[in-house]
Structure 1
Amino acid sequence: MSRPAGSNQLFRSIILLVLCTAVAAGGQPPASLQTRSQVARELSDAFAATAKAAMPAVVSIKIERVVKAQAAPGFGDSNDLNNPFGDDFLRRFFGGRLPQMRAPRRYLERGQGSGFIISKDGYILTNNHVVGNVDRMTVELKDGRKFTDAKVIGADPDTEVALIKIEGDNFPVLPMGDSDKLEIGDWVMAIGNPFGLTETVTVGIVSAVGRSNVHIAAYENFIQTDAAINPGNSGGPLVDLDGRAIGINTAIVSQSGGSMGIGFAIPINMARTIMEQLRKSGKVIRGYLGLYGQDMTPDIAQLLNLKQPRGVLVAQIEKGSPAEQAGLQSGDLILEMNGKEIESYDTFRNQIADMEPGTKVQLLVSTEGKTAERTVTLGERPTEKARAEQPAEESQQTLGVQVRNLTKDIAQQLGYEPGEGVIVVAVSPGSPADNVGIQPGDLIASVNRQTVTSINQFAKMVNQARKGGKVLLLIRRGPLAQFIVVPFE
């Protein structure tokens, strides 16, 4: 076969290139490939060294609890306050005669989790949901030692941190790092006992920091990671490449029950603060301000004629609270605390909770456009308030709502005071009110930050607000209050 004129030189060049490549392949790899391989080997060595150093201090925790189960007819314990099929319901259903209930049956529930030793005398950090309300607990170390006398020193459901102790000394210890120095993209390692598979190590990166509103605990500031976390990993450490615990693996987002690359760990700095209080007194004492707030959104900022959405908008003040004593009121905008801008309501709550009762804090507060400093002396938070103070879930943007005056009888039934607002009795499906989550039984306390006391006043205020295309409502539901922007159709 003949080649076109001028192609011989090109053909010879291709042959030489192939030969040169073959010689290179038969000898040493290119320098760039050697460099990349070396980097990979060094990273692999770092993972191996970290795991080897950390694993002796990671423990397996097996728990047992006796659970009562109501036998037939299957309505559960009629004395249980959380049981929807209680005595009142049953009497209505059976015409005043309760069916014969058999004696409760008891069965043994078993579970497992992880933890890690933080002191030579046997203190162990883990999760509240691992060791809370258990009848028996067995802690096993990597070296095979088992302890059936482990004691729960204290547990904090509001952060999911728990502290337990085994008797002995000179235990291997996992040092604690500084979670405040974590950056997105940092390598991390999760160690624990998923599905009972002891000494399991998974690797990933820090996907996010400061995660909140994931509805796992009352106070949230989670590290998010894609290192695989599965059932049984709870309570185990999240470790950095220096072999230091920077988090406590706590929960996952999953549709299958297993890892989907979204795991959450309690930052070790937060856990350390809780641990110190549990170790000292067996309980956690938190600072208390006594207000319900929410993040400022662009829509609310626009309605309030603010240049930008910033700070915490106060929705409700508890009576007799430090916030009320300091003169704070619903509709105030808290811009700064102790000279620093407030990032979010969740961050603000966490910072207040971390302070000791009696601490004085300086708040920069905007009221009706006028800014002033307020000094507040924090109280001690009643434990039952922590979860109730969580902000209600954000409502969607988008009225079709029937309201009634809040009479004395209605107010008494619903736990309100007459004249505090108007009560929602019906919401039309697909209406703006429905779309933003307003429900029958909700109390509308104000319209565009003006107190409403009657249905006529409510209608007038809403009509006046139509010109702006949306209206700002203060909605109360039980102990919670929240401002909601409702766009008109």
Structure 2
Amino acid sequence: MAPIQSFPERLRSHRLAATFVLLGTLSAGVIAGSVLTGTVHGAMQQKTDTSDAAPLRIPPAANQPNQFTQIAKQVGPAVVNINTESLPKQSTAPKGRRGLSPRGGQGGDQGDMQDFFNRFFGGNGGPGGGDGDDDDDQGGPAGGERRALGSGFIVDPRGYIITNNHVVDKADRINVKLSTDSENDPGRPARVIGVDKETDLAVIKIDATGSLPTVKLGNSDGAQVGDWVLAIGSPFSLSQTVTAGIVSAKNRTEPGGGGSQFQKFIQTDAAINPGNSGGPLLDMTGAVIGVNTAIYTQSMGSVGVGFAVPSNTVIGVYNMLISPDHKVVRGSIGISFQPTISSAVSRVYGFAKGGVLVSTVTPGGPAAKAGLKPQDVITAIDGSAVKDGDDLVSNVAPRHPGSSARLTYLRDGKENTVTVTIADRNETAVAMNGAPDDDGTPGKTPAPNVSQDKFGMSVSTVPAEMLSRLKLSGGVAVSNIKPGSFADDLPLQKGDIITEVNRHATPNISEFESAIAKLKSGDDVVFVVHSPNARGAGGSSFVGGRLP
């Protein structure tokens, strides 16, 4: 008699049969499901009577204006789109010259600033187009024509527009499009009235055939953290874009330091992106309380941290830029100080309750003439306490050169008071270290552009302090060079000091213009040039060419 098998043993011995049974069951299930699905699908396709269904209709437009809507309609027409073009340059690298050190080795400020700020130059492409570069972005090959985009707003019906300096800086052509201009309209040509690099502001102008719409300026001191604000501009070439946010903070300085001491920003989380630069930041009355200038980002896009120059600063700079001199003049007493010091220093020098420790005193400057010395501590101006360096600068800078002020200071723990005469900050900066003035040139008095047509350059007076430092008896400073011009081809550079033209001494602008007036096309021209940036002895260089 055969032994009785357990169930598992029987299953293993009949594995093949079990497999077929399982497959058959699954197949039957699939077939049944297909039949049922086909039945349902067929039922869905059957025609149904829909005579009882009411068609949908577009309702009348609901007019639900809010404050944002009203402000956008009110201010939008005065916000403009700014397109700039930079023509091809011969070289982006400094041009070396025998006997002179390479230029631009100063380093520091601009590079450090770009580690934290990405300026709003966006591409002219559509959304997602443009690379988000910090200054210009639509360039072809190296050295080719470059295009950039920014925003601005009209403050005078005759066509005066406020924007950022970095929007128009180095631009050879500037075109402004109004909100009423068509999409294909290239815009109206604009010219620069004046710029202020310290605050990154600029004033440009277009010719107006009629009265243009304008914004109203507000008082930025009234803005409070938490207030609603709107930003209007042209991010990524999308003109008339409106975004909303709040005032996140006030009196911000550039993250990481290195920025201008005259830049105190309003911080906002209103979305601003490349192309917004130069556009207005508006409060809930529709008044401009700031100019959108920079963002803090690691992605080249908005992360909710934007910065705007306060309108009170903007108004002061604008008024100076539209003056006959078209430049910003700030007061100075001719000292330097360390922006940040430890509490131990303030205790040792006896000004724990506030004051400014003088680091250096400009030779021949107001403070030096008044008898101030390094390590003195300035505690008050005209009886108003000075708590730190920012307080000192904000008090002195708005004062007119030639006016006077009473300084209270500590020396060896004893309080003293003297009267100082306020000087031009540009002049004291040049006297202290040969630093360039606001337009980047060592001269302080721009000359008429009589040499512009012939050489493609402008010259200015060289300060006596710089002549003394370089041991020169006279000369004129190159203040501006037109790209691709005769002066650019030689090459001359901004800041060069010309002491001779064709063996004719040029101790001043009058002698320089007299010397070049005799030159004509085809003549050989030789300049004797000194570089204030050359290291070591420096010496003179001979730069020449044939005048085209």
The superposition leaves residues 83-117 of structure 1 with CA deviations (integer Å, 9 ceiling, x where unpaired) of 67xxxxxxxxxxxxxxxxxxx97410110000000
C-alpha distance in 2, partners of 1:207/1:225? 5
CA shift for structure 1 position 343: 4.1
Structure 1: gaps of 5 or more residues:
1-40, 85-103, 391-414, 416-489
Q: Does 1:338 align with 2:382?
A: yes
Q: Which residue of 2 aligns with 1:194?
A: 235
Q: 1:384 to 1:304 in 2, by over 3 A?
A: closer
Q: Which residue of 2 aligns with 1:166?
A: 206
Q: Which residue of 1 aligns with 2:411?
A: 367
CA shift for structure 1 position 347: 3.6
C-alpha distance in 2, partners of 1:231/1:383? 36
Amino acid at match of 1:208: A
CA shift for structure 1 position 368: 1.3
Q: Does 1:303 align with 2:303?
A: no
Q: Which residue of 1 aligns with 2:357?
A: 313
C-alpha distance in 2, partners of 1:298/1:383? 33
The superposition leaves residues 11-69 of structure 1 with CA deviations (integer Å, 9 ceiling, x where unpaired) of xxxxxxxxxxxxxxxxxxxxxxxxxxxxxx99x81122112211110000000002426
SS in 1 for 2:328: coil
Q: Which residue of 2 aligns with 1:22?
A: none
Q: 1:305 to 1:285 in 2, by over 3 A?
A: closer
C-alpha distance in 1, partners of 2:81/2:154? 11
SS in 2 for 1:185: coil
Q: Which residue of 2 aligns with 1:184?
A: 225
CA shift for structure 1 position 218: 5.0
Amino acid at match of 1:366: L
CA shift for structure 1 position 384: 8.7
The superposition leaves residues 276-331 of structure 1 with CA deviations (integer Å, 9 ceiling, x where unpaired) of 1111121112212110113553121232355x341211111111110111111111
Q: Does 1:237 align with 2:280?
A: yes
The superposition leaves residues 195-243 of structure 1 with CA deviations (integer Å, 9 ceiling, x where unpaired) of 1111111112222222235434452121111212211111101111000
C-alpha distance in 1, partners of 2:434/2:287? 33
Q: Determine if contact 1:296/1:309 at 8 Å carries over to the other structure.
A: no
Q: Determine if contact 1:224/1:264 at 8 Å carries over to the other structure.
A: yes
C-alpha distance in 2, partners of 1:342/1:209? 20
Q: 1:105 to 1:224 in 2, by over 3 A?
A: closer
Structure 2: gaps of 5 or more residues:
1-62, 106-140, 436-468, 470-548
Instruction: Could you list the structure 1 runs, at least 4 aligned residues long, displaced by more than 4 angstroms after superposition.
Output: 386-390
Q: Which residue of 2 aligns with 1:132?
A: 169
Q: Determine if contact 2:85/2:172 at 8 Å carries over to the other structure.
A: yes
CA shift for structure 1 position 344: 2.9
C-alpha distance in 1, partners of 2:385/2:71? 38
Q: Which residue of 2 aligns with 1:109?
A: 146
Amino acid at match of 1:165: K
Q: 1:151 to 1:106 in 2, by over 3 A?
A: same
Q: Which residue of 2 aligns with 1:402?
A: none
Q: Does 1:286 align with 2:330?
A: yes
Amino acid at match of 1:78: G
Amino acid at match of 1:372: N
TM-score by length of 1: 0.62
Larger Rg: 2
SS in 1 for 2:303: coil
C-alpha distance in 1, partners of 2:424/2:146? 36
Residue of structure 2 aligned with 1:261, choices 288, 296, 304 = 304
Percentage identity across aligned positions?
39
Q: Which residue of 1 aligns with 2:87?
A: 66
SS in 2 for 1:346: helix
C-alpha distance in 2, partners of 1:206/1:296? 29
Amino acid at match of 2:349: L
Q: Determine if contact 1:64/1:136 at 8 Å carries over to the other structure.
A: yes
TM-score by length of 2: 0.56
SS in 1 for 2:368: helix
Counting matched residue pairs gives 327
Q: Determine if contact 2:379/2:387 at 8 Å carries over to the other structure.
A: no
CA shift for structure 1 position 342: 2.3
CA shift for structure 1 position 372: 2.2
SS in 1 for 2:216: coil
C-alpha distance in 2, partners of 1:190/1:273? 22
CA shift for structure 1 position 389: 11
Q: 1:81 to 1:106 in 2, by over 3 A?
A: same
CA shift for structure 1 position 70: 4.4
Q: Does 1:354 align with 2:395?
A: no
The superposition leaves residues 118-138 of structure 1 with CA deviations (integer Å, 9 ceiling, x where unpaired) of 011110000111012211111
C-alpha distance in 2, partners of 1:227/1:59? 19
The superposition leaves residues 323-369 of structure 1 with CA deviations (integer Å, 9 ceiling, x where unpaired) of 11111111111112222222431342243222110121122211111
